[in-house]
Amino acid sequence: MATSVPQLSRYKSIGNLVAAIALSLLIIASNGSPLLSQARSLVLDGSAYLYVPIQWVEMLFTIEKDYHELQQRHIKAQIELNKSKTISSENQRLRNMLGFKDEKQFNVIPANVLSDVGSHTMSSLTVDQGSDDGVTLLSGVVDAEAQLVGKVVAVSPKTALVQLVNDKNFRVSVREMRSRDVGILSYTLKKGYLIQDVPKNAEVIAGDSVVTSGFSDIFPEHIFVGWVSEISPVVEDYVKSVRVDLATDFNRIEEIFILKQDD
């Protein structure tokens, strides 16, 4: 009796195989028949109806997972924001105790770029905001990421001319964030953007961030300029120059923001 069970199991497997082969041959032989096409359509429609709730359930689980991840990121960002606010408040309190003047405040005037001009005289942009909109000469200009673009050098009632950082006559005082060293950034055709006359003992390394120093009535402190890309050998035993990769992509600027100092 015990030996008959494996035999029945073996015959069952063979029977299933024969049935599958027979069904396959029947489908092949009936290919193109209306009955088979109708049966195939019913199977496909049924599968589609079954798949919709399955997909919906999977989507719910995915949304819930994304929601929890966003919650985590939001809480972390909020903690960092609160930390920054605390540090800012503490910094302002210490500045007041030491008798420092309050930092200058700026309003922002958005403007669209009308045209760009690159010539042997000046590299510039024309924008659609002018004196009627509150734009004044020597106002600082940044892009949508608050990165340095240039300064206003001419104003009409409806438009303004912006001298770009990549103009050979443009100069701006900048600070290297890690070492806190200050220098003057300028542009040359041969060497690109350089911070000149950096002390030889300045601990500047490639990848350091460069921002405006705030030693100017045009640009407030901490406007992002770019990153240190190369440090030249020491010149005359006491200074060296630092090459900078600018953050702003001048080929993609469509709108700019003019900084107007509060009265």
What would the pLDDT profile of 7-19 be if each residue is shown by its tens digit? 555 566 676 677 6
Which pair of tokens denotes residue 221?
């402190």
Q: What is the CA radius of gyration of the chain?
A: 35
What the chain holds in terms of domains, given with CATH numbers, is: 112-165+256-261 (2.40.10.340), 172-247 (2.40.10.350)
Determine if residue 160 is left, alpha or beta; phi over 0 gives left, psi from -120 to 50 gives alpha, anything else beta: beta
Secondary structure letter of residue 143 according to DSSP: -
Residue 130 pLDDT more than 90?
yes
pLDDT at 239 over 80: no
pLDDT tens-digit readout, 141-160: 999 888 999 999 999 999 99
Residue 242 has pLDDT above 50, yes or no: yes
HSE-CB at 123 with a 13 A cutoff on CA atoms is 14
Q: Residue 91: which pLDDT band, with cuts at 50, 70 and 90?
A: confident
pLDDT, average across residues 113-130: 80
The letter for the amino acid at 166 is N
Better pLDDT: 33 or 88: 88
